Structure 1
Amino acid sequence: MGFGRLLTAMVTAFDANQKLDLARQTKVIEHLIQTGTESLVVAGTTGESPTLSKEEKIELFKHSVAVAKGRVKVIAGTGSNNTAESVVLTKQAEEAGVDGIMLVNPYYNRPSQEGLFQHVKTIAESTSLPIMLYNIPGRSAVNMTAETVSRLATIPNIKMMKEASGDLGQITEIIRNTPDDFIVYSGDDNLTLPILSIGGHGIVSVSSHVIGSEMKEMITLFLEGKVDEASHLHQTLYPKCKALFSAPSPVPVKRVLSHIGIETGPVRLPMVSLTEEEEKNVLQAFL
């Protein structure tokens, strides 16, 4: 079994005191499974990874594996801008029983392409788990080029990529110059359909927290050749995806989850709650 077409970059649930709330996390996981998610990405950006301690991340990995019970795959976000620390966390995630690892580009230190290559190669060699690359230059301040991805794709356990550059030309080059079994996922909800159309496999989504069933339907329609119907659904979902990114993520999606009865608690600083005006605009898209 692969990792599927619809993956969710899962939010982290906190209690009123901003401590991990595993009971709430269980409800999030069950909701995601029921609405079509096939793999959970744990402790990624949407999970507020910069404000999670390593101990909290490991606790989340173990809990997600225990709750999933093999019904969906669990991918652990273990990437950072410290290669040695990422190696340690990756080994601990593997011991926790996760099914795969996601490695974001090292942020802030802005390595060269050779530095990116060596960083990922070093971590990949420390584990037997499949690796998902995560290119998000808007947050990491460095772009992993198609050439670097092509080099990394020759490493046996580097199997897939979440591509959030928004550059369809670059994504085309990645798909064109990597092996047929190397999978590229959209990292932008509103580009799910365009990326499918150029050979992408699916989406690592934030919006799937609240429109997972519809996103799954859109992907299925496209794969069945019903392109016009998929396009129409894409147009319908676009304002909702846009609303969920109208303020720093995951602030809007946590608010909408609460609106539909799934409480995930507050965000941690430096994230802050929506203003009244922002909240009104976000919820308007879901009325």
Structure 2
Amino acid sequence: MMATINWNGVFPAVTTKFTANDRIDFYAFKKNLNAQLSAGVDGIILGGTLGESSVLTNREKAELVRFTVEKVAGKVPVILNIAEGATSEAILQAKNAEELGASGLMLLPPMRYKSDHRETVEYFKAVANSTRLPIMIYNNPVDYKIEVTLDMFAELVECENIQAVKESTRDVSNVTRMINRFGDRFKILCGVDTLAMEELLMGAHGWVAGLVCAFPEETVAIFRLIKAGQIDEALEIYRWFLPLLELDIHPKLVQYIKLAEVATGIGTEYVRAPRLMLEGEERERILGIINQGLATRPVLPEYMSL
């Protein structure tokens, strides 16, 4: 029987916390995880861009999935990102995720090789057909150079477990194109923090968020207020949030968002090489943005019951 996920809501792409000696910091990770759950998020995504997937070993990914599944204890789905160069390795990662108790997968096109239309579709189908887990396609041509086009999605309709898309094309009108062509067949989750309110208003079902790692309550509040039709209240928070959300669309988003997590008391600054921690003018500039946000942080309306 095909599994399913409720793809509506806020899905943090959580960072992977490290210690000073470059081990996974499960204590700090658990603290952040608890903050996400307390704020009312609707799922947890592991091993994405923010999770520093490219520098994690398969063993570390397995440890993260196992730990998160245990701590979340069924409250929300746990989703593992798959970003591999070989189809066979992607299939293996899907199999491992299923065995470890993950609820679903987020799936990028092939890494490193720029596959064409036919190759991209076959890659997605091969992984989808190898697992019963629900899948969200990650469509990010800006960073990963392959666009998953509407014609590709038309061929992926036959895979029942391909249920959603992380929409990161940075073209807001793509939400409407998807809905016009496919109706409700694919759930659409905004994957770019700076476009979240716009895409949610255009009918996106969810938000794969980045700054939620440091500001979980504000992120969930915006989502729930929008869906409850309280647009003015959501807009006030969103306008305050935008300078912080812009940290999500820089190549150093990992370092920037981890610095924000430290500022809000739910993270560590350590990153894994080749990334390096921020220093000098750059660090001061990003801290200035974060501290300005903290100094003007809004009082949130009651949103948990919306």
TM-score (norm 1): 0.94
Superposed, 1:68-107 pairs within 5 Å as 68-107=72-111
Q: CA deviation at 1:181?
A: 4.2
Kept in 2: contact 1:79–1:104 (CA 8 A) = yes
1:168 matched to 2:178? The reply is no
Kept in 1: contact 2:263–2:290 (CA 8 A) = no
1:108 matched to 2:118? The reply is no
Partner of 1:64: 68
CA distance in 1, matches of 2:186, 2:249: 28
Name stretches of at least 5 consecutive residues in structure 2 with no aligned partner.
292-306
Kept in 2: contact 1:18–1:265 (CA 8 A) = no
Partner of 1:136: 140
SS, match of residue 40 in structure 2: coil
SS, match of residue 182 in structure 2: coil
Kept in 2: contact 1:243–1:281 (CA 8 A) = no
Pick one of 122, 126, 136 that aligns with 1:122.
126
SS, match of residue 233 in structure 2: helix
SS, match of residue 188 in structure 2: strand
Q: Which moved more, 1:79-88 or 1:169-178?
A: 169-178
Kept in 2: contact 1:14–1:20 (CA 8 A) = yes
Kept in 2: contact 1:13–1:21 (CA 8 A) = yes
Pick one of 209, 213, 220 that aligns with 1:209.
213
Q: Which moved more, 1:6-15 or 1:230-239?
A: 230-239
Kept in 2: contact 1:131–1:158 (CA 8 A) = yes
Cα RMSD, aligned residues only: 1.6
Partner of 1:186: 190
Q: CA deviation at 1:199?
A: 1.3
CA distance in 1, matches of 2:182, 2:268: 38
Partner of 2:181: 177
Percent identical pairs in the alignment equals 29
SS, match of residue 121 in structure 1: helix
Change (3 A) 1:59 1:150: same
CA distance in 1, matches of 2:280, 2:249: 16
Give CA-to-partner distance per residue, 1:161-216, whole Å, 9 cap, x none: 10111012333212222241420000101111111122111210111112221121
CA distance in 1, matches of 2:172, 2:261: 30
Superposed, 1:238-257 pairs within 5 Å as 238-246=242-250, 248-257=252-261
Kept in 1: contact 2:17–2:26 (CA 8 A) = yes
Name stretches of at least 5 consecutive residues in structure 1 with no aligned partner.
none
1:231 matched to 2:204? The reply is no
Pick one of 217, 221, 242 that aligns with 2:225.
221
Kept in 2: contact 1:41–1:75 (CA 8 A) = yes
CA distance in 1, matches of 2:275, 2:173: 32
Q: CA deviation at 1:140?
A: 1.2
Q: CA deviation at 1:286?
A: 2.9
CA distance in 2, matches of 1:185, 1:166: 12
The size of the alignment, in residue pairs, is 287
1:23 matched to 2:35? The reply is no
CA distance in 2, matches of 1:179, 1:30: 35
1:40 matched to 2:47? The reply is no
